Amino acid sequence: MSDAAVEVSDLVKSYGRVHAVKGLSLLARAGEVTALLGPNGAGKTTTVEICEGFRRADSGSVRVLGVDPAAADSEWRSRVGVMLQTGGFYPGARAGEMVHHLAALARHPLDPDALMERLGLSSVRRTACRRLSGGERQRLGLALAVVGRPELVFLDEPTAGLDVQARRATWELIGDLRASGVAVLLTTHAMDEAERLADAVVIIDGGTVVASGSPRELTRGGAEGQLRFTAPTGLDVTQLLGALPEGTSAVEQPPGSYLVRGVIDPALLASVTAWCATHGVLASDVKVEQRTLEDVFLELTGSELRR
């Protein structure tokens, strides 16, 4: 049997004259977390909605758990969990009622009370969904997506608007889902989240895939001769270059992150830190020959990852 949870090949979808997806192909494997990244309008939402069965493709092949979502039945839907950005729950229902209701529809659900406790929802179990805060709605949406113990779960920005503690609890839950063999396909605007959680990353731009691979594979190449550090925005990089060897370059990209290119040796590292110390600048996260997913994303799409 194939270990593919999601297989998309040559997917095409247009809305009138707007070509949202143009021959896109991707693979998400069972028991892995696959992160889908892309700027606004890249086609990732359309792609995910087709995989969830909410939209129909114009052409191409889509198989989710071996089934075409456009022709899927209730049996298939019981194997898939979906977290919607808009929540997907009844406004007048209580949070606990929603989780228990979906648990009752599943064959082998997770313990709904334990799940709510884990996600910090126990205190609002008797609160109407419409009265929940944005972060509470986000956590409730996650609970509804996973309480039925799906084989595959789609998560749309699962930690958007969450505080640090709730975000960490969400990360731990996603890690446990993967460990139990569940496939997770998530979209996120948090690069550190994708870098930390994902086994595979797919970057989409202009309706097609521009890069894919593990975070390590995507960030490994092209970093030779690079030093990056974090510092307050607006440093005078021209002045910094005056303290560095000839042939070295320095840019601030994105704001607050500084990239130095050249022959990276102990002398250059010492020059950078000495210049920062002389000017009262606290440089942190100093990294040599290591790109981040954000570096790769900017290089490939030419734009910041925005909501």
How far is residue 23's CA from residue 43's CA, in Å, rounded to a whole number? 11
CB 276 within 8 Å of CB 282 = yes
Q: What is the mean pLDDT of residues 171-193?
A: 94
Give the per-residue pLDDT at 219. Answer: 83
Give the per-residue pLDDT at 225. Answer: 77
pLDDT at 306 over 50: no
With the C-alpha atoms ordered 204, 205, 206, 212, is the resulting torsion angle positive or negative?
negative
Please check whether residue 305 lies inside any domain of the structure. no
State whether 108 and 254 are in the same domain: no
Q: End of a domain among 195, 219, 243? A: 219
> What dihedral angle (degrees, nearest 10) is formed by the CA atoms of 103, 109, 110, 112?
10
How far is residue 29's CA from residue 185's CA, in Å, rounded to a whole number? 9
Give the per-residue pLDDT at 138. Answer: 92
Distances in Å between the Cα of 256 and the Cα atoms of 223, 301, 305 are 19, 20, 16
Give the per-residue pLDDT at 61. Answer: 97
Q: What is the pTM of this model?
A: 0.79
Percent residues over pLDDT 90 in the chain:
77
Q: How many domains does the chain have?
A: 2
State whether 67 and 106 are in the same domain: yes
pLDDT at 263 over 90: no
How far is residue 200's CA from residue 33's CA, in Å, rounded to a whole number? 7
- Look up the domain containing 261 and give its range: 223-290
State whether 59 and 143 are in the same domain: yes
Greater confidence (140 vs 291) lies with: 140
Q: What is the mean pLDDT of the chain?
A: 92
Residue 219 has a CB neighbour count (10 Å cut-off) of 19
Q: What is the mean pLDDT of residues 126-147?
A: 95
State whether 55 and 150 are in the same domain: yes
pLDDT tier at 65, thresholds 50, 70, 90:
very high
Q: What is the mean pLDDT of residues 90-115?
A: 95
Compute and round to an integer the Cα radius of gyration of the chain. Answer: 22
28 - beta bridge partners?
6
State whether 196 and 175 are in the same domain: yes
pLDDT tier at 264, thresholds 50, 70, 90:
confident
pLDDT at 290 over 70: no
pLDDT tier at 88, thresholds 50, 70, 90:
confident
Q: What is the mean pLDDT of residues 276-303?
A: 86
CATH number at residue 67: 3.40.50.300
Please check whether residue 304 lies inside any domain of the structure. no
Q: Give the pLDDT confidence of 187-237 residue by residue, as tens digits.
A: 998 888 999 999 999 999 999 999 999 998 898 765 567 898 999 999 999
184 - beta bridge partners?
33, 153
How far is residue 180's CA from residue 227's CA, in Å, rounded to a whole number? 38
CATH number at residue 233: 3.30.70
pLDDT tier at 2, thresholds 50, 70, 90:
low
Q: What is the mean pLDDT of residues 137-158?
A: 95
